Amino acid sequence: MEENITYKPFNYIDHYVPVEGETVYYNTEETLTVRKNDCSIETVGNLVPLTAAANKFISTISTTDANEQAQSWLNTNVQAYANNIGVCTIRETEWRGIDESCVIEPPTILQPFDFMIIRYKWALGAGKDFDTFTGFVNTGTIWDNKYMGYGHGHGTELPNNTTSAQAYLMHAGDNTLDNGVESCLVNCKKLSSDNGNLKSIPIRMAGAWYGMAGTGNIDIEITTYSGGTIQKIASKYDFTTVDSTQIQQFTFSKNIPKPPSWGNDIEKVTNIGYITYNTDSLTAEVIITY
């Protein structure tokens, strides 16, 4: 399977002539940003935004339907657009161990925040049905090593049957498609508040292709927030926030080969990296492994 490398221009409004007297609706402006993901292993691609300008998509149903057309166009085209116009730069890495095969990305520091949403994204041609592992490790609580994601046996939230406001971790659903996103809410502030003796909260990220693997390239998008509330949108395998302030957003690229056999064992899949939250400063350090 090849990745989508053909950029498709707007065509909805250009080829649609409304019937006289017909009520029509237009989309509002939307932007989607991804990282160029076809660089060699020694380099990393830059973030590239693609915008669906307002009034470019038309619907006879509703503005929401027009916006869904715009979002569908963005989802289809953004990776090809990024790969076509983005640039690759030398990856600044450090190494540890006996040789350069043990590589670790320099840490990224996150400013103070309350909660974050981790999104694992893949484009057409990357693979089918990417399964994610997101969970706490080494906190000393009962929540350690209970990973969110399909088939891990811990439900879709921790503690089970809690709302997004009360959950420490919450998975937005299992995406089995050829492209898209799987998302996990990590509420560091809530876990820290309920466990006052914690000094740090390490989070581990990993993943594997359940279906066939293509290029294996994925992006890991980490977005941090303060305040407000979170809502799960299961139909889109994602979350949205209400009255929250976005603090930062980072995207990291990673190649995930298909493991020969893994059976929901995190030790047999590709480790993506760690996020360590400091409960005193409310900051965090992100380390992506390569």
CA dihedral over 234, 236, 239, 241, signed as positive or negative = negative
Q: Is residue 3 part of a domain?
A: no
DSSP assignment of 106-158, as one string?
A: PPEEEPS-SEEEEEEEE-TTTBS-EEEEEEE-SSSSTTBT--BSTTSSS-SEE
pLDDT at 190 over 90: yes
pLDDT at 45 over 50: yes
pLDDT at 63 over 70: yes
In the listed set 90, 112, 136, which residue is the last one of a domain according to the structure?
90
Residues 207 and 77 occupy one common structural domain: no
Q: Is residue 82 part of a domain?
A: yes
pLDDT class of 105 with cuts at 50, 70, 90: low
In the listed set 55, 90, 125, which residue is the last one of a domain according to the structure?
90
Residues 181 and 43 occupy one common structural domain: no
Q: Is residue 7 part of a domain?
A: no
Model confidence pLDDT, tens digit, residues 134-164: 999 999 999 999 999 998 999 999 999 999 9
Residues 186 and 237 occupy one common structural domain: yes
Greater confidence (280 vs 72) lies with 280
Residues 60 and 202 occupy one common structural domain: no
Alpha helices in the chain (DSSP H): 63-85, 188-194
Model confidence pLDDT, tens digit, residues 156-168: 999 999 999 999 9
- For the residues 14-39, what does the mean pLDDT come to? 81
How many structural domains does the chain have? Answer: 2
In the listed set 58, 90, 122, which residue is the last one of a domain according to the structure?
90
Model confidence pLDDT, tens digit, residues 202-245: 999 999 999 889 999 999 999 999 999 999 998 899 999 999 99
Residues 55 and 198 occupy one common structural domain: no
Residues 136 and 243 occupy one common structural domain: yes
Check which CATH number belongs to the domain holding 245 and give it: 2.60.60
Greater confidence (208 vs 59) lies with 208
At residue 41, the pLDDT reads 64
Residues 73 and 110 occupy one common structural domain: no
Residues 34 and 118 occupy one common structural domain: no
Distance CA 216, CA 38 (A): 10
Residues 140 and 265 occupy one common structural domain: yes
Residues 209 and 240 occupy one common structural domain: yes
Residues 26 and 57 occupy one common structural domain: yes
Long-range contacts of 40-44 (CB under 8 A, 24+ apart): 40/88, 41/255, 41/290, 42/90, 42/91, 43/88, 43/89, 43/90, 43/91, 44/88, 44/89, 44/91, 44/253
CB 274 within 8 A of CB 204: yes
Residues 35 and 148 occupy one common structural domain: no
Q: Is residue 257 part of a domain?
A: yes
Share of the chain above pLDDT 90, in %: 55
Q: Is residue 46 part of a domain?
A: yes
pLDDT class of 42 with cuts at 50, 70, 90: low
Distance CA 271, CA 289 (A): 7
**Domain ranges, residue 21:** 13-90
